[in-house]
């Protein structure tokens, strides 16, 4: 068995020549130039970033300003007083006396209304109001007392008025209770009405003394 003949070596075409070997010095120079160029680009970017950062205005110090804003004592307006202004003592006494005497007159009017209907079917409606008392809320006393301060209040006279006015209110309530009797009006209703009017007269004198500055 015969071996196949070896493949003949192909000859290069006519005129062909191998490329010249590369100069290692040129490769190093090209590499150095590339590094220098890259360094120039990076340096320019850093310088540009610094310039942009320095051109920005400084940020406000929010921590310090917010601390001032949160402090209620800085530039805070003084609280306004809501207390009503008290009138002078003489004027206060006159106003208080007028309030108290008006309350006395209201009681007289209520008693007179009861006396007109006692012993009739209309007495029941009046009785329902009178039995609860006409001065239980003490509104007149509170209004008169509010006109004074602790230094100039005629406390003894105001308390005396409240006592006498309260006695009159109790007497009117007694009149209402006695007025439910079958024979009303009678001696008991007349006595209660008389007592109420006497107490109201005392209350009026207390108010007059308040006005006089006693």
The 10s digit of each residue's pLDDT in 27-47 is 556 556 555 555 555 555 544
Structure tokens at 179: 């007025």
Question: Model confidence at 190, in pLDDT bands (50, 70, 90)?
Answer: very high
With 0-12 / 13-18 / 19 or more C-beta atoms within 10 angstroms meaning exposed / middle / buried, residue 57 is exposed
Q: What is the pLDDT of residues 50-102, one digit of tens each?
A: 444 445 455 555 444 444 455 554 455 555 545 556 777 999 999 999 999 99
Q: What is the pLDDT of residues 92-138, one digit of tens each?
A: 999 999 999 999 999 999 999 999 999 999 999 999 999 888 877 78
Q: What is the pLDDT of residues 140-152, one digit of tens each?
A: 999 999 999 988 9
Q: Is the distance from CB of 169 to CB of 133 less than 8 angstroms?
A: yes
Ranges 8-12, 122-126, 207-211: which has the least confidence: 8-12
List, as one string, the DSSP characters of 118-181.
Answer: TTSTTHHHHHHHHTT-SSTT-HHHHHHHTTS-TTT--HHHHHHHHHHHHHHHHHHHHHHHHTTS
The topology under which CATH files domain 89-212 is 1.20.120
Question: Model confidence at 25, in pLDDT bands (50, 70, 90)?
Answer: low
Cα distances from 162 to residues 90, 127, 168, 174, in angstroms, run: 20, 23, 10, 18
Kindly report the pTM of this predicted structure. 0.60
In whole angstroms, give the CA distance from residue 85 to residue 87: 6
Going from N- to C-terminal start, the domains of the chain cover 89-212
In whole angstroms, give the CA distance from residue 139 to residue 207: 15
């Amino acid at each position: 068995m015969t071996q196949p003949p070896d493949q003949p070596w192909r000859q290069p075409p006519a005129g062909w020549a191998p490329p010249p070997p590369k100069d290692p010095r040129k490769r190093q120079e090209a590499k150095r130039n590339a590094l220098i160029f890259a360094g120039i680009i990076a340096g320019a970017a850093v310088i540009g970033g610094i310039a942009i950062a320095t051109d920005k205005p400084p940020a406000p110090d929010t921590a310090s300003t917010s601390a001032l804003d949160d402090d209620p004592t800085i530039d805070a307006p003084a609280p306004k007083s809501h207390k009503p202004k008290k009138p002078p003592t003489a004027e206060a006494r006159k106003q208080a006396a007028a309030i108290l005497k008006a309350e006395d007159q209201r009681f007289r009017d209520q008693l007179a209304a009861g006396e007109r209907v006692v012993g009739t079917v209309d007495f029941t409606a009046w009785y329902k109001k009178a039995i609860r008392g006409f001065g239980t809320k003490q509104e007149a006393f509170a209004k008169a007392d509010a006109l004074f301060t602790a230094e100039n209040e005629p406390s003894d006279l105001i308390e005396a008025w409240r006592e006498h006015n309260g006695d009159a209110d109790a007497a009117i309530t007694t009149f209402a209770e006695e007025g439910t009797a079958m024979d009303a009006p009678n001696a008991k209703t007349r006595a209660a009405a008389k007592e109420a009017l006497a107490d109201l007269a005392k209350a009026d004198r207390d108010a007059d003394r308040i006005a006089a500055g006693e």
